[in-house]
Amino acid sequence: MTRALRALVVEDEALLAMEMERLLEQAGWTVAAVAVETAGALAAAAGGPDLAFVDVNLRDGRTGPDIAAALIERGVPCVFVTADPQLLPADLAGALGVLRKPYAPRTLLAVLTFLQTWLEQGAQPGPAPYGLTLGSGAVVRRRQ
């Protein structure tokens, strides 16, 4: 890897955002920004993150799918983060997958390893060749 990959964290729960930021940095990533609502997330995307982790339900409502769609359109792949997968759009709105809260640190680190490899191989924005479904500490990869 020639440079640290940059992540945008869209999460309105401060402790969860700080923990994700810590784990990302521990894995060698750079946190480009942390946003708590739509306007902040879209403004932070101007900095060109390599990937965004987007909570579904934020301060300004269930705006995560809209934020993800706008980021994907700008070329930023997204992973949803949610405690309630029923809030997700059926097609995941083009996101790479879902990280279910609460997640174990090792689960996020496994996801980062997979995503780092995927991004370094020249992945294009939009759905990855594998959907990530993450829950109960397990990473499941399935062909789409």
Q: Give the CA distances from residue 128 to residues 8, 12, 28, 105, 114, in Å, rounded to whole numbers and listed in that order.
A: 18, 26, 22, 22, 11
24 neighbors 7 (Cβ within 8 angstroms)? yes
Would residue 28 count as lying in a domain? yes
How far is the C-alpha of 4 from the C-alpha of 65, rounded, in Å? Answer: 26
Q: Judge whether 98 lies within some domain.
A: yes
Instruction: Give the least confident one: 81-85, 102-106, 109-113, 140-144.
Output: 140-144
Is residue 20 a contact partner of residue 108, using CB atoms and an 8 Å limit?
yes
Indicate whether 47 belongs to any domain. yes
Q: Is 124 contained in some domain?
A: yes
Banded model confidence at residue 121, pLDDT cuts 50, 70, 90: confident
CATH for 125: 3.40.50.2300
Answer whether residue 1 is part of any domain. Answer: no
| 94 domain residue, yes or no | yes
What angle, 0 to 180 degrees and rounded to 10, lies between the N-to-C axes of helices 14-26 and 105-120?
60
The DSSP 8-state label assigned to residue 113 in this structure reads H
The answer to whether the bond into 77 is cis (omega within 30° of 0) is: no
* Domain contains 85: yes
Mean of per-residue pLDDT scores for the chain:
82
Tens-place pLDDT, residues 50-107 = 999 999 999 898 899 999 999 999 989 899 999 888 888 777 767 888 888 888 898 8
Domains held by the chain: number: 1
Across the range 105-133, mean pLDDT stands at 70
Tell me the residue range of the domain where 42 lies.
6-143
